[in-house]
Structures are given as C-alpha cells and as structure tokens.
Amino acid sequence: MTGLLVSLFLPWIAGSTWLWRTWRTANLPAVLGYGYLLGILVTTALIRLWHFAGLELEFWPLAAGLALVAALPLLLPGRTAREEPPRPGNGPSHWWSAENLVFAFFLFLIALRLGSILLDNIYRPLFSWDAWMNFAPKARVWFELGELTPYTSPKDWLRGASLEGAFTLGNWQAWDYPVTVPLVMLWTALGLDAWHDDLIKFPWVFVGAALGLAVYGQFRHFGISRHTAMVLVYLLLSIPYVNVHMVLGGYADLWLATALSLGLLSLMRWTTTQHQTDLALALLFAVSCFAIKKPGVIWGGLLLASIGLALVPRRITLVLAGFFAITATALWIAGGIDINLPAIGRLRIDAGGIALPYLGQQPLGFTNVSTVFVDSLFLSPNWHLFWYALVVALMLALTTRPARLRQPAPFFFTVTSVVAILFIFFMIPRYSKEALELTTLNRALLHLVPSLFVFAIWWLWARPAEPAPLPEP
Amino acid sequence: MSITTRFLMGFMALLAGIAATAGIVWKQSGLDWSAPPPMVWHAGDLEVTRGAALKGPDSMLVTFEKGSGRILLKAPSMPFRAEDAGIARILMDPLPAQVKGGVFWRSSEQQQVQSMTLSSTGAGVTADLARHPAWEGAITEFGIVFRGPATEALAIDGLHLERLSFGGSLRSYVNALTEPEAWTQQTINFLGFPSAVHDASSPLLAATVVFFALLVLSPLLLIHRARASVPALALGIFVAMWLLLDTRWQWVLLHNANEARATWAGTAGGAKDLGSHDSRLRRFAMDLKNDVLPPPPQRVFIVHNSEGHNIARLRFQYHLLPHNIYNFGRQLKPRFTQAGDYIILLGSVPGVSYLPSETRLQNDDGASIQAQAVQGSSFASVFRVLPPDGKGATP
C-alpha cells in the first residue's frame, strides 16, 4: 500500500516542486495539474536512464532517485512576495454567497465523478483491447523479468534477425508503439510489488484530475472567476467519453489529450505573459506528445509549428506562409514530392498517396464519412453537448472578439489540427474505414477535445489584459 | 435584476424550451397520445411448429420438443408495418427460471431472421420491439421461441402486438434511458445506445431545449436593463441541460462501479478475468506456467484457427506472460522453430495434426516439426519441439 501511494504521489510531488520553484507566476492548481504530468514524464525518463545505466528495476532505489529529483528545486531560491499571485481578487464574500455555493456544488460533482471512476478502477481489471493487448504486455514482461526487455516486429522475431531474446506482441503493429504508457503501468506495478490488473489503472484517474487542475489554474490566470472556472472544469471532466478513458484505463489517448491541451494552454499563456517558463512548458508538452502515442507526432508537430509561429515576427510569418504556399503549389503542379530524408525516413506526398517518416505510408482516396462525424459529434452520447457548445462559442467569439486573431499561434494550431483530422478520416481510406466502424474516430477526437475546449474559452472569455494579474487560486 | 428574478426567468424559459421540444417531437413522431387497440392472436390462432400443444378454448398447454428443447409458435395474418407494433406481449405467467424466451421476425427490409429476448417481469412477458434496430419495414413473419427442459410445460393464452402511442414511445425511451449500459469491448471506442431511440438522441433533444429556451429569452436583449443578465442566463440554461444529461451518466458510472465490485471484489488483482471463458483460459495458462513450461522467458508459439485480433488467442497470450510468445497464424512455422520451443494448439486447429508414433506435428501442406506432446486437454494441446532427429523425447 505504501509503495502504491508513493508510486502515485511521488511523481506528482517531483513535478510540482520543480514547477513551484521555476514557474513563478503560476497559481497552485496550475502547478499541481502540470506537475503531475511533468512528474510522470520525468519518472518514465528516469526508468529508461536506469535501464541504460544497467541497473536493476527495483522500486525503492528508483523512488529514492525520484525523491532526489523532487528535492533538487529546494536548493533554488524560493518565491518572493512580488512573484506570489496577488491576494483576493473577487472581493469579500460570505461562504453562502451564490458564487461560493456554485463553486462548492460543482467541486462536489467533480469529486463525485472522480470518486465513482476510482471505485470502478479498484475492482475492474484491465478491460479494453489495446490496454491488455498492446500496452500492458510490455509492462508485465518488464515487471516480471526486472528489465526493459527489447521488443521487435513479429517478422524479425521469427527470423531472430534483431535483438537476442527480444519479445513481440500479438498485434502485428503494436511492437513499436511509444513506451510511455507501458512505463506508467510498470512504475505502478513496481510500487505495488506485484502485478495487479486493476490498480495499475489508477494513473488514468490521476491524469484526469491533473487535467482539471491545470485547466482550472490557467482559466483563473485568464481572469475567469473562481466559480465560473469550476463550472467550466466540471463541463470538461464530465464529458462521457473523457470519463470512459479514465474508467477503462490503459490507453494512451487521454495522456496525449492532456499533454496537448497543457501545451496549448502554455502557448496561449505565453502570448500574453512572454514568460520563458510558459514557452518552455509549451515546448516540453508538445515534444512529449511524440513519446506518448504515434499520432502524437502530428498533434505535437502542429503545436511545435504554432510555437514557432508565435516566436517569429509577423512579417517573417507572412514571408514563410507565402513561401510554403508557393512551394506547395509548385509541388502539386509537379506531381508531388518523394524524397528520402537522411536518418528521418521517406517523405512522399502526391495524389496517389502519402508517406510520412515514423507514420508509414497510406494511399489516398476520398470517402464521405460526414454522416459518421455528425452522428458521433452531435447525436451520440459520447460528448454530451460539447460540440454544440463549441460551434456556438466559436461563432460568438468570432463576432465579439475578432481582435484575438492578432495572436495567430493558437488559431494556427486549432485550424490545422481540425483540418488534419478531417483529412485523415476523409482522405485516407484505412482511417475512413475505421471511422465507419467507429474504432478510432472518437479516440482521435478525444486527442483534440480538451485543446478545443480551452481554445474556445480562451478566445471567448480570457481577459485581454497583457500581462494579466494573477488571481487567487 | 435580482438573482431570484433571474433564476425564475431562466426556469420558465427552460420549461418553455422543454414544452416546445416535446411538441416538435410529438408532431414529428406522427403518433397519437393514447394507444390504439393492439393486434391480438388468441392461443388457438398461433401455429405450433416445434413442441406439442394441447389446445383449449382460451389457452393452450405447450411442451418442449424433445431433442431441440424448443417451442416455436408462429403468428398468422402477416404482414403489418413495424411502426404499428412497438411491444410484443405474450399472455402467460412469468417464465420459469430454466426457460428462456424470445421473439423472431422477418421483414421486407431484413430478409435475415431477427430476434429479441423476452423479458419476464411482474408486468408480463414482453419484448420492447421498438428498441431493436431491425424492427422496421413490413413484417412478413413473426413468432415466439422458448428453450427449456422437456419436463416443462407452458400455458399460453395469446399474443398481443401493442401499437405504439406517443406515451408508450416516451415510456420506451425512458426505459432505455433507465437501463444502464454495461461496459463492453467497444465502449473504449464509443458509447452505444439503443438504436431505435437513436433518432431521438438525448444530446440533440437537450440542445433543442436549450435553443428554444434561449429563443424565449431573446427579447431580453432588447431591454437595456436586462441585457447584461442574458449571458449568465444562457450559461445557466445550458449547464442545467448538461446536468440533466450528466445525471444519467453519473448513475451509469456508479451502477457499473457497483457491478464491478459485485463481480470482482475479493479476487486478487492478479487473478481477475473477464468472464467464464477468460477464466478457463487463465486457469489453463496458470497450469502450464506452473507445471509444464520452463521458467520464463520460454519461446512459445500459439497456433489457433483464426486470423487477426481473436480475443481467445490474445487473452491466452496475456495470461501466459512473461513467456516470449509468437501468436500469429493457423499453421506451424517449421522454418522458424528450434528445439526446446513450445507449441500450443489452442482449441481445434484443423490445419495441424499430430502423429504420436512419429512424434511429429504436421501442417496440412506436409511441412512438419519433430515434437513431443507434453500436455493435452479438450482445451488445448501442448508440444515441446525436439531436434530434427527426434532425440530427446521423454517418456
């Protein structure tokens, strides 16, 4: 039990102590929300370093290493009064004021939701396909053998062509999926000192809570009142499909969605604060998408491009946009592009197909999957009223706050990611088929939902003051 | 505007939105508020095609057909339109515990026979046909089927197909909402919903209510003093409808958490399985790990009469971890196996046979591997690969 608690909370403490000392303008909820994901990523990195150093995978030595990482920021200078978030921003109010009651009511609903999900996780074993087919097997083998045994493709496993003693998986494509999720499972199993099909899913509840904390903290930074921010966080954390990925934990999608939205929030914050930590966090979480799930390359890549856009002066942006437009047109006229990038892979884009480094190649062909999209977004019970609200919020924002368009980076990310998801499901037959079968469509939408949510709120609601004074957490 | 006034205005607008939405749904459904009389078949009208019947004036006593263990009754006077009958009610006492019942039909839309399980409650033995996705078009064949022991006899008075009223349809919709869906292997990809009520999707209905409520409030925008209250009122109405949808979802989560507790409480975290078949796979895998296979990681080939993502072969692989497993194909891989490997034929694998006298496993194309059977059951057969000369077999 002690090991489980340490495995759950030590990464959280490690990430939060670093952010508390280095992210000096952030409020406590944001520090805690970002801190959990940062801590988990640091933990997985530490396990890999441990393995490369040839050390045996044992929980307590690893935990001691992580505790050292957590303690290091204590050597840094503490926050000064100047950097502390300003005190009461909402004026005096009685505890029974309408605002406080609304705050408490929705906080209770969030606690009830997370509690129900945690309760299910205590009893239910790993349930859904990919969890026990693609991710948990690696973690279980590593846990039982005490080392990060290599994995290879089924073809190479048969030939013995790659590493001696390498394992493979029962899913032909899953052997080279990023290992962050298996490492999260491994870390929890090490803490438990036994393989538990149920408890290793706990981090999926924690990452949901971390998403809520981070979004709440950032919304407060955007100038949104306490009770409204709490209502908004409740709306995000009560989306049924978000809950599904917390209650049936074991997939990478919720981690990717969280990393992406935290990166986007940091980018949006950086556009007003210009603080280096915000920029660093945006970059860190954009890059972390690569390590979480293969499609993270697309979303993380688009976020990186958006950060790049925010960094360069507007005139250069226009020159770059013109350059890309002309190059793309020229390539299209020439029939496409097909080059081998040294150490990266093949890049091919033409009317017949697309090949991207790391993601492989796919033929192109239009399939009309609009009915499935409408069905999934607006009629199914997966998202409550999220997509209706998003459409209305974006229309309202466009008409009432067009000045926001002067900060193009968040818009670039949102527009390109939406275009990318439409392209993938309408233009790549393999994914069109998966959309029609409803196997991957909602999961791909989940990657973007928290980001779209925070983007809409930022556009519609965030105070335009630059830099905004920090409200009370 | 005081907070009480705002609350009352929002509440009234919400009620107006609900009324307007209900009116539209009623108009769109084309249904009457009260139910028209049902289609009735008395016991004597039903044709008994399986089982033996003793027919009386108002009732018949039917026994199960020996061999198949079935009773099959068919209703004459077809066809009728599916929308004219939403609920099938069998006039009989509640089903005995060991008897299962269902209805079946064929329609102009679906040539394949469709079926639906009967539910037996205090309210009768019924099937909520309107909730079945294939209950559509002209119904050309309709019948009832029971399975049970030959010793049982069922007294049946007749069959009613009750036409849907708007109230009945609403009841069917509410029934669907109050039946929490259990998690399935598809839940991680999408949340399912009874198809027949899909046309009346809950998010769409909630969005329509919000739309009409906001329409009712829109004149406030013209009143200078009230204009500032509109955003908070709009958000309040939106959140109220979200809460309504979310109340059901919260209940589903709690229900499933409770089901999980009832199913797995008291079982160690490393010994939980996903059902009776998975439980057998796990027990067999544990036996192999404890008694047959050398300490891990041992190379193991699983051969199963399936391709792709078959749950049995993949769950079996999971239970065998941390052994080093190759789990593809319906045939042996003689070129890639080596002495000391283990081969497990999971279930019946028609493409592979074992010749005990020659200690040889053979594909149906003739390719073979020297191997010794080390464990056999109706569930799976386990072999240890021998050197090509066949030496090393143990008695």
Q: Is residue B266 part of a domain?
A: no
List the CATH number of the domain containing B90: 2.60.120.260
Q: How confident is the model at residue A229 (pLDDT cuts 50, 70, 90)?
A: very high
Q: Are residues A40 and A158 in the same domain?
A: yes
Interface list for A 116-135 with B (CB within 8 A): 116-117, 119-120, 122-125, 127-133
Q: Is A101 on the interface with B (CB under 8 A)?
A: no
A198: nearest CB among B207, B245, B272: B272
Cα distance from A188 to chain B (closest Cα, Å)?
A: 13
Q: What is the pLDDT of residue A316?
A: 86
Q: Are residues A352 and A448 in the same domain?
A: yes
Interface list for B 329-358 with A (CB within 8 A): 333, 336
DSSP assignment of A327-372 equals HHHHHHHTT-EEEEETTTEEEEEETTEEEETTTEEEE------HHH
Q: Which residue has the higher pLDDT, A250 or A347?
A: A250
Q: Is residue B208 part of a domain?
A: yes
Condensed to tens digits (0 to 9), the pLDDT of residues B242-285 reads: 999 999 999 999 999 999 999 999 888 888 888 878 899 999 99
Q: Is residue A342 part of a domain?
A: yes
Interface list for B 124-153 with A (CB within 8 A): none
Q: Are residues B378 and B281 in the same domain?
A: yes
Q: Is B202 on the interface with A (CB under 8 A)?
A: yes
Q: How confident is the model at residue A356 (pLDDT cuts 50, 70, 90)?
A: confident
* Distance from the Cα of residue B249 to its chain's centroid: 19
Q: Is residue A92 part of a domain?
A: no
Q: How confident is the model at residue A468 (pLDDT cuts 50, 70, 90)?
A: very low
Q: Are residues A339 and A413 in the same domain?
A: yes
Q: Is residue B155 part of a domain?
A: yes
pLDDT surpassing 50 at residue A375: yes
Q: Is A205 on the interface with B (CB under 8 A)?
A: no
B188: nearest CB among A171, A194, A244: A244
Given an 8 Å threshold on Cβ–Cβ distance, is B203 in contact with A438?
Answer: no
Q: Are residues A317 and A441 in the same domain?
A: yes
Substitution target from B321, B323, B369 for chain A, most A beta carbons within 10 A: B321
Angstrom distances, CA of residue A244 to CA of A251, A421, B83, B258: 11, 21, 34, 16
Residue that finishes a domain, picked among A239, A271, A293 = A293
Q: Is B104 on the interface with A (CB under 8 A)?
A: no
Q: Are residues A154 and A274 in the same domain?
A: yes
The residue among B359, B356, B346 whose CA lies nearest residue B314 is B346
Q: Are residues A307 and A347 in the same domain?
A: yes
The nearest alpha carbon in chain A to B334 belongs to A158
* Distance from the Cα of residue B202 to its chain's centroid: 20
Contacts of A330 (CB under 8 A, 6+ apart): none
Measured CA to CA, the distance from residue A409 to residue B335 in angstroms comes to 56
Condensed to tens digits (0 to 9), the pLDDT of residues B351-365 reads: 999 998 888 999 998
Q: Are residues A243 and A222 in the same domain?
A: yes
Average pLDDT over all residues of chain A: 90
Residue that finishes a domain, picked among A275, A293, A311 = A293
Q: Is residue A473 part of a domain?
A: no
Q: Are residues A410 and A456 in the same domain?
A: yes
Q: Are residues A281 and A324 in the same domain?
A: no
Tell me the residue range of the domain where A199 lies.
2-74+99-293
The total domain count for chain B is 3
Percent of chain A with pLDDT over 90: 71
DSSP assignment of A255-286 equals HHHHHHHHHHHHHHHHHHH--HHHHHHHHHHH
Q: Is residue A89 part of a domain?
A: no
Q: What is the pLDDT of residue A196?
A: 94
Q: What is the pLDDT of residue B170?
A: 75
Chain B residues close to A400, C-beta within 8 Å: none
pLDDT surpassing 70 at residue B367: yes
Q: What is the pLDDT of residue A277?
A: 93
Condensed to tens digits (0 to 9), the pLDDT of residues B63-95 reads: 998 888 899 999 887 678 887 788 889 999 888
Place of tokens 């909820």: A29
Q: What is the pLDDT of residue B23?
A: 87
Angstrom distances, CA of residue A156 to CA of A166, A169, A363, B6, B330: 9, 12, 25, 69, 19
Q: Are residues A113 and A157 in the same domain?
A: yes
Among the residue ranges A69-83, A190-204, A431-445, the one predicted with the least confidence is A69-83
Q: Are residues B137 and B200 in the same domain?
A: no
Among the residue ranges A105-119, B99-113, B233-247, the one predicted with the least confidence is B99-113
The total domain count for chain A is 2
The sign of the CA dihedral B320, A291, A236, B20 is: negative
Given an 8 Å threshold on Cβ–Cβ distance, is B187 in contact with A251?
Answer: no
Among the residue ranges A37-51, A348-362, B62-76, the one predicted with the least confidence is A348-362
Q: Is residue B169 part of a domain?
A: no
Q: One-letter amino acid identity for B231?
A: P
Q: Is residue A206 part of a domain?
A: yes
Percent of chain A with pLDDT over 70: 94
Q: Is residue B136 part of a domain?
A: yes
Q: Is residue A135 part of a domain?
A: yes
Q: Are residues B249 and B286 in the same domain?
A: no
Q: Rounded mean pLDDT of A454-463?
A: 90
Q: Is residue B289 part of a domain?
A: yes
Quickly count: other Cβ atoms within 10 Å of residue A468's Cβ: 17
Q: How confident is the model at residue A83 (pLDDT cuts 50, 70, 90)?
A: low
Q: Is residue A94 part of a domain?
A: no
Chain B residues close to A140, C-beta within 8 Å: 318, 321-322
Q: Is B281 on the interface with A (CB under 8 A)?
A: no
Q: Are residues B362 and B328 in the same domain?
A: yes
Given an 8 Å threshold on Cβ–Cβ distance, is A385 in contact with B309?
Answer: no
In the sheet with A360-363, reading across from the earlier edge strand, the strands are: A337-341, A345-350, A353-356, A360-363
Q: Are residues B195 and B228 in the same domain?
A: yes
The nearest alpha carbon in chain A to B245 belongs to A384
Q: Are residues B111 and B198 in the same domain?
A: no
Q: Rounded mean pLDDT of B156-166?
A: 84
Q: How confident is the model at residue A74 (pLDDT cuts 50, 70, 90)?
A: confident
Q: Which two tokens stand for residue A77?
A: 């200078």
Q: How confident is the model at residue A328 (pLDDT cuts 50, 70, 90)?
A: confident
pLDDT surpassing 90 at residue B39: no
Cα distance from A413 to chain B (closest Cα, Å)?
A: 25
Given an 8 Å threshold on Cβ–Cβ distance, is B260 in contact with A123?
Answer: yes
Tell me the residue range of the domain where B315 lies.
276-385
N-to-C CA span, chain B: 93
Q: What is the pLDDT of residue B198?
A: 45
Q: Is residue B83 part of a domain?
A: yes
Q: What is the pLDDT of residue B321?
A: 93
Q: Are residues B153 and B69 in the same domain?
A: yes
Cα distance from A132 to chain B (closest Cα, Å)?
A: 7
Q: Are residues B88 and B12 in the same domain?
A: no
Cα distance from B321 to chain A (closest Cα, Å)?
A: 6
pLDDT surpassing 50 at residue A87: no
> Which residues on adjacent β-strands are paired with residue B158?
B42, B91
Condensed to tens digits (0 to 9), the pLDDT of residues B193-204 reads: 544 444 578 899
B204: nearest CB among A198, A238, A378: A378
Here the ipTM equals 0.91
Q: Is residue B34 part of a domain?
A: no
Measured CA to CA, the distance from residue A45 to residue A184 in angstroms comes to 10
Measured CA to CA, the distance from residue A188 to residue A59 in angstroms comes to 9
Q: Which two tokens stand for residue A298?
A: 């697309």
The nearest alpha carbon in chain B to A139 belongs to B322
Q: Is residue A88 part of a domain?
A: no
Reduced to 3 states (helix: H, G, I; strand: E, B; else coil), residue A213 is helix
Contacts of B47 (CB under 8 A, 6+ apart): B73, B74, B75, B76
Q: Which two tokens stand for residue A60?
A: 């307590």
Q: Are residues A233 and A197 in the same domain?
A: yes
Residue that finishes a domain, picked among A236, A264, A293 = A293
Cα distance from A393 to chain B (closest Cα, Å)?
A: 11
Quickly count: other Cβ atoms within 10 Å of residue A52's Cβ: 9
Substitution target from A99, A148, A149, A158 for chain B, most B beta carbons within 10 A: A158
Q: Are residues A221 and A241 in the same domain?
A: yes
Q: Rounded mean pLDDT of A9-23?
A: 94
Q: Rounded mean pLDDT of B103-131?
A: 85
pLDDT surpassing 90 at residue A29: yes
Q: Rounded mean pLDDT of A369-385?
A: 93
Residue that finishes a domain, picked among B102, B129, B163 = B163
Given an 8 Å threshold on Cβ–Cβ distance, is A442 in contact with B189?
Answer: yes
